[in-house]
Amino acid sequence: MHLRVGYDLIYHCPQATPMILLVNMHYSRASDIVVPDYLTTDPSVPITAYRDPFGNWCTRLVAPAGQMRFSSRGVVRDSGLPDVVVPSAPQQAVEDLPEETLVFLRGSRYCETDVLSPVAWDFFAKTPPGWARVQAICDYVHAHMTFGYTYARVTKTAFDAFNERTGVCRDYTHLAVTLCRCMNIPARYCTGYLGDIGIPPPASPMDFAAWMEVYLGGRWYTFDPRNNVPRIGRVLMARGRDAADVAITTTFGPNTLERFTVVAEEVSEPMASAPSHA
């Protein structure tokens, strides 16, 4: 199957404003890309790119004063299979974990492991280690919280989500990531596209999605505490410790987001439509 993915973002900047964007499909999907998701800007400005410490493709530019539009449409080939489920995947002892996974055991900006560790051990110490423990955490977060875009705020942390019991997919993910880390299971935050393939269309407009990857039995597996069911057509953009590492845009100056449109849909032909500038 083929998926068309893309976005239209319009910002207004009162002055020239440096920006960093993480808006490209992840390099792990490079062999699946049919039509590259090139970033276009209006007006046109010089662009440079680099890899961050997590391997994410980052774009640097300076948006001029006034309106600035970012857009992209790409097509990616997908297996059409749901997220992998391996109930037998074991949890590894901390001393046996690869060094590169250890950063995903530590607390981070939105994941306060020091605060939530007593909660995690109280709730999950008696669950079977490994896949069953991670699933128990996802089940808990999914049932504990109520979803709603009106509950979103950029400063909300895992501890806030735990106490307020409301949030969007990033808040579900932050809480589940934190609880996994508290239980000595490496967990990393992911962002990307997730369409409505195989499920009824959502009532709200399409948005970027957040989920997590957890290290069990020598590899990373996808878990989604917001939806809490295996999904089809997940397209990764970036990974990090939490949302601070994978922000779609980071701006170094005042700005207003005037438009935000995301596309993630199955297409019958591997062709991408040109971005509309209406």
Token pair for 223: 């878990």
Pairing of strands 66-77, 33-35: antiparallel
How large a percentage of the chain has pLDDT more than 90?
A: 91
- What CATH code is carried by the domain that includes residue 149? 3.10.620.30
For residue 85, is it within any domain?
A: no
Using one digit for the tens of pLDDT, what is the confidence trace for 145-175? Answer: 999 999 999 999 999 999 999 999 999 999 9
- What CATH code is carried by the domain that includes residue 62? 2.60.40.2250
Cα separation, 259 vs 160, whole angstroms: 28
pLDDT at 43 over 90: yes
Residue 103 shares a structural domain with residue 53? no
Residue 228 shares a structural domain with residue 257? no
pLDDT at 271 over 70: no
For residue 174, is it within any domain?
A: yes
Task: Please report which residue ranges of the chain form alpha helices under DSSP H.
Answer: 113-124, 131-144, 158-164, 169-182
How much is the pLDDT for 129?
97
Backbone φ and ψ for 102, nearest 5 degrees, come out as -65, -30
pLDDT at 29 over 60: yes
CA neighbours closer than 13 Å in the CB half-sphere of residue 278: 2
pLDDT at 59 over 50: yes
Using one digit for the tens of pLDDT, what is the confidence trace for 228-245? Answer: 999 999 999 999 999 999
How much is the pLDDT for 270?
60
Using one digit for the tens of pLDDT, what is the confidence trace for 85-112? Answer: 999 999 999 999 999 999 999 999 999 9
How much is the pLDDT for 206?
77
Q: Strand (E) positions, 64-121?
A: 66-77
Residue 119 shares a structural domain with residue 253? no
How much is the pLDDT for 233?
94
pTM for this model (two decimals): 0.93
- Residue 198: pLDDT band (50, 70, 90) is confident
pLDDT at 277 over 70: no
How much is the pLDDT for 268?
85
- Buried b / exposed e across 245-269, counting CB within 10 Å, b at 16+? bbebbebeeebeeeeeebbbbbeee
Q: Which of 14-18, 148-152, 198-202 has the highest mean pLDDT?
A: 14-18
Higher pLDDT, 269 or 55: 55
Cα separation, 171 vs 225, whole angstroms: 10
Residue 125 shares a structural domain with residue 211? yes
Instruction: Specify the amino acid at residue 156.
Output: K
Cβ atoms 36, 76 nearer than 8 A? no
Helices and strands of the chain, counted as H and E runs:
4, 15
Q: What is the largest CA-CA distance in the chain?
A: 57
State the chain's mean pLDDT as an integer. 94
Per the DSSP assignment, residues forming a β-bridge with 230 are none
Domain carrying residue 45: 2-80+247-267
Cα separation, 192 vs 182, whole angstroms: 25
Name which of 198, 195, 215 is nearest 206 in CA terms.
195
Cβ atoms 193, 209 nearer than 8 A? yes
For residue 89, is it within any domain?
A: no
